[in-house]
Amino acid sequence: RGMLVLNPEWLGMGQLSGDGYRHGRMNQLDLCGTSGLGPFYLAMSRGLDVLLALEHADPERVAVSGLSGGGWQTIIISSLDTRVKLTDPVAGYSSFRTRVRHFSDLGDSEQTPCDLATVADYAQLTALMAPRPTLLTFNAKDDCCFAADHALPPLLDAARPIFQLYGKELNLRWHVNHHPGNHNFDRENREAFYRMLGDFFCTDDKSYSSFEIPSEMELKTKEEVAIELPAENANFQTLAMELSQDLPRTPEVPSDATAFGVWRQANRAKLREVVRAKQYAVQGETVHSEENDGVTATCWRLKVGDAWTVPAVELVRGEPKGTVIHVADAGRASVADEAGKLVADGMRVLAVDPFYFGESKIAQKDYLFALLLATVGDRALGIQASQLAAIARWTQSRGKSGLATIAATGPRSSTIALVAAGLEDRAIGGVRLRGSLGSLKEVIEKNNWSFEQAPELFCFGLLEAFDIPQLAALVAPRPVKFETSSAAGGSQ
């Protein structure tokens, strides 16, 4: 057809399919306070730079199209870069409001970036195309995501009024593929795109046809189109490692008592902001209680705020001398032996499963819901820490053994406990951490974790403001005990 076509490789696919490009690792950049979406957008933007620099490129006839993740790329670059004059995203996205009702549409890290929904839904991104020609292509029986019946109508509802304001209602079009109707960019969908190009880019060409031109004989092998890449080509982990070198921005903790008090007050407020902490109230409902060998075990259903219910088991023998709230990465059932030892030592133990752990763990693809929380402006870490802090206040309000100690097992729970204690100094008397991280940088450098492995540890901007030592300092003068921590190699 005489058209110039550029196919930039997508991060995580093709020649960029290495482990360092897995999309869940873009959140390592989030931890450093830099948007993990940035490399995706910059790759698309630079792709347009390259395309438009070609000798015969026409800046007034630039179109973008792609399927699935390519459809997502299409709406992102097309809506935000007006160099794109026509767009055809194919089965690439739906509104966030649609996704909360159709879990097949829940997107990975790049599709659900931190805080995006606080400024724009995908419905608004579609409307931003106005008045530029826009073809929305979906599949009727999509077996992957974004099926036409639920994905398309909200996008049209949002975009139509804006196209009408421009007097360009006919520039907004849609196409639904029924045969085969699955997740595809097959011939019928492609020919709908060709018609769009003809109607807007080739109006003076009377010979233009929207029927596909056979080109199978021109296709090249993967090896023929492979491009030599630099040996040290950057990926999400290497970018995050570079960013993390100078973090936190202000790591110093004052040694002077007066200066430390000022630092603690300011940084407690900063931590509250970074993790989007909540001030929850707790109502406890007894589910079951029984006594065995002098130990009373009470199962609680704790209503935390208006939205959350946290399961808990309280163990007590006689008149306890203190209270320990126990959390663990593997759930409260995993610390039964430890809880028994604490009770034998005269402690009241409240073993809880905050959001994402034990009984509170979402059964399938739990990390996608953490992404959804972050894109609407919340943080999993803030919710979990706020739940713990609220439960500590509830325990104290019952007049049960004074300030509670938070005992945490595992790197995730230990970080949550530090944040909770840093935020709540009136109900939490100290923390005891088993298996804590010594530094948040281990998430990137040592463990190279992906988002799905520890969603709360990728809290946007946390490492930019705090590392483990600064979080521990916020708890002072209350005790912080590390056991088998990667920071200490043992107890301290």
Per-residue pLDDT of the chain (492 residues; tens, 9 = 90+): 889 999 999 999 999 999 999 999 999 999 999 999 999 999 999 999 999 999 999 999 999 999 999 999 999 999 999 999 999 999 999 999 999 999 999 999 999 999 999 999 999 999 999 999 999 999 999 999 999 999 999 999 999 999 999 999 999 999 999 999 999 999 999 999 999 999 999 999 999 999 999 999 999 999 999 999 999 999 999 999 999 999 999 999 999 999 999 999 999 999 999 999 999 999 999 999 999 999 999 999 999 999 999 999 999 999 999 999 999 999 999 999 999 999 999 999 999 999 999 999 999 889 999 999 999 999 999 999 999 999 999 999 998 678 999 999 999 999 999 999 999 999 999 999 999 999 999 999 999 999 999 999 999 999 999 999 999 999 999 999 999 755 444 444
Cβ contacts of 319 within 8 Å, gap of 6 or more: none
The pLDDT value given to residue 433: 98
Cβ contacts of 67 within 8 Å, gap of 6 or more: 90, 91, 92, 183, 184, 185
| Cβ–Cβ < 8 Å for 438, 486 | yes
What are the distances in angstroms from CA 173 to CA 82, 156, 409?
19, 9, 54
- Domains parsed from the chain with CATH numbers: 14-241 (3.40.50), 256-483 (3.40.50.1820)
Cβ contacts of 151 within 8 Å, gap of 6 or more: 91, 93, 94, 95, 98, 102, 105, 138
Task: Look at residue 15 and give its three-state secondary structure.
Answer: helix
How are strands ordered across the β-sheet holding 134-139?
A: 63-67, 86-90, 134-139, 172-177
**What is the rounded (10 degree) CA torsion for 255, 259, 261, 263?**
-90
Angle (CA) 17-22-28 rounded to 5° is 140
Task: Look at residue 283 and give its three-state secondary structure.
Answer: strand
Q: Tokens 């160099």, residue?
A: 83
**Cα separation, 154 vs 159, whole angstroms:** 9
**Cα separation, 413 vs 433, whole angstroms:** 8
**Cα separation, 430 vs 249, whole angstroms:** 26
Angle (CA) 187-188-190 rounded to 5° is 60
**Cα separation, 67 vs 109, whole angstroms:** 17
**Cα separation, 460 vs 466, whole angstroms:** 11
* pTM for the structure as a whole: 0.95
Nearest to 201, CA basis, from 62, 338, 340: 62
The pLDDT value given to residue 486: 53
**How many Cα atoms within 13 Å fall on the side-chain side of residue 65?**
22
Angle (CA) 334-438-436 rounded to 5° is 10
Task: Look at residue 297 and give its three-state secondary structure.
Answer: strand
